A and B are shown apart, each in its own frame.
Chain A
Amino acid sequence: MSIAPTTPSLRDTPPRAGGEFSVLRAVIHRDLLLALRRRSALATVLLFFVIVVSLFPFGVGPEPNLLRAIAPGVIWVAALLSCMLALARLFAADFADGALEQMLLSPTPLGLIVAGKVAAHWLMSGLPLVAIGPVLALQFDLDQSLLGVLALSLLIGTPVLSLIGAIGAALTLGLRGGGVLLALLVLPLYVPVLIIGAGALDAAGAGLSALPHLLLLAALLVLAAVFTPWAIAASLRISAE
């Protein structure tokens, strides 16, 4: 049985509908679906995070005070690195198979599409760290009261990493040796997030309030969420030319 070929007319075309945020939803949905159908890429990033964090207690030795002191820095640095690892693939596949061109030619503002891609990227590579980080912190004998602060700082900080990193991913798209260049470009920009994020834990560990640090991180997140999508979009247009 086959459906008779129809001659579509202008009448049965739905108007440009759904609004622009439905495109945002569609992009997030597609990228999550793709990640679910290819879980190995996702697992690589998370395992990398787990392994890097777990190496330190082995290397440094079982000295509780030392471990407690280095825990915030180690977990945050590992989060930066695993976020970087996932970034290299953010636009590469769409660039290779031509899907990126279609996004560049969309009537929907590119910044919005890009925001969707970064959001999906964070949901897959940033959000899991928020859950895993505090568990790994137990290896460092981190005080239980600090685990909440750690999770919260990762929750606010990792989206900033994804947003800033995506600019680098867009700029290095299609370049040979882009992966190394990406690290050189992006890691220095991660320094403020690292200092503030790890600082929140240091402050809480010293009995001070972590709130100022968390608020600073949140301010960074707001700034990044507003400005980086347009910077990413502009970088993509240059790279794809």
Chain B
Amino acid sequence: MLEARDLEATRGDRTLFSGVSFSLAPGGLLRVTGANGRGKTTLLRALCGLLLPAAGEVRWKGQNIRALREEYWAHLLYIGHANALKDDLTPEENLAFASRIGGITVSRDRVHAALTRFGLGGRERLPVRALSQGQRRRATLARLAVAEAATLWILDEPFAALDTAGIGLVQSMAGEHLARGGMVVLTTHQDARIEAPSAIDINL
């Protein structure tokens, strides 16, 4: 259960947003929309615990995430708008390392299956440097295919740089995740067509 109470964030002396409250139950989707610079990423980073909000608190299963820390992060998958890929490593190595850091050890076969599902079959051994922008995004998002153990997915602009097929894939994976009782928070400028048992929209 993810809950936010009266979140407020500031940049310098400017208030980005204030009074953001919501409660997300299993199977719940939260869509954050808003013009550029309104603080969508800031909100997501606050929900992850990367950033201390100026006011308010984020709670996971009733407890403040600042007290839970690693216990909360074990349930969290965050994909920021930076890809967190190493140019000199292959998609395979990047995915295996990212999962390991995220607390799951993934077999080689599952890494391959995940990358294949994201259309990177045959490119697992190329350095990320040689991939296009869209392929890099796919290599990052392949984490979704091995992260079903993480209950809460927080995705910052997951569709950026993706083609229609890629967007469809991410949407269907998010739908599957919600159907098995997961939670998804995402920011997007597109109209996200995700089948969700329950959905909340926040416009900053």
A residues at B contact (CB < 8 Å): 2-3, 5-10, 12-14, 16-18, 22-23, 26-27, 30, 33-34, 37-38, 93, 96-99, 101-109, 113, 240-241
Contacts and interface: CB of A to CB of B under 8 A. Distances in A.
23 contacts: A3-B117, A7-B176, A16-B149, A17-B104, A30-B89, A30-B97, A34-B86, A37-B88, A97-B83, A98-B81, A99-B85, A101-B50, A101-B80, A101-B82, A103-B101, A104-B50, A105-B48, A105-B50, A105-B102, A106-B103, A107-B71, A107-B74, A241-B51
Given A101-B80, A102-B98, 7 more contacts: A8-B110, A12-B110, A14-B105, A98-B80, A99-B86, A102-B102, A107-B74
Nearest to B81: A98
A160 to B, nearest CB: 27
A13 B81 CA distance: 26
A98 B79 CA distance: 9
B193 to A, nearest CB: 19
Interface of B: 48-52, 70-71, 73-74, 76, 78, 80-86, 88-89, 93, 97-98, 100-107, 110, 112-113, 116-117, 121, 127, 145-146, 148-149, 176, 180
B49 A99 contact: no
A186 to B, nearest CB: 26
A26 B81 CA distance: 24
Contacts of B52: 241
B88 A18 contact: no
Given A97-B84, A101-B84, A3 B105 contact: no
Nearest to B48: A105
A147 to B, nearest CB: 36
A106 B102 contact: yes
Contacts of B127: 37
A22 B112 CA distance: 21
Nearest to A100: B84
B117 A5 contact: yes
Nearest to B154: A105
Given A3-B116, A13-B104, A240-B50, A106 B85 contact: no
B101 A16 contact: no
A23 B93 contact: no
> What 9 pairs across the A-B complex have the smallest Cβ distances?
A98-B82, A107-B74, A98-B84, A107-B103, A37-B88, A99-B84, A18-B105, A26-B100, A13-B149
B173 to A, nearest CB: 10
A22 B176 contact: no
A235 B145 CA distance: 33
A14 B106 contact: yes
A27 B149 CA distance: 22
Contacts of A101: 50, 78, 80, 82, 84
A17 B82 CA distance: 27
B180 A10 contact: yes
Contacts of B105: 14, 16-18, 22
Contacts of B113: 3, 6
A113 B101 contact: yes
B101 A102 contact: yes
B155 to A, nearest CB: 13
A37 B145 CA distance: 28
A99 B102 CA distance: 11
A2 B101 contact: no
Contacts of A105: 48-50, 73, 76, 78, 102
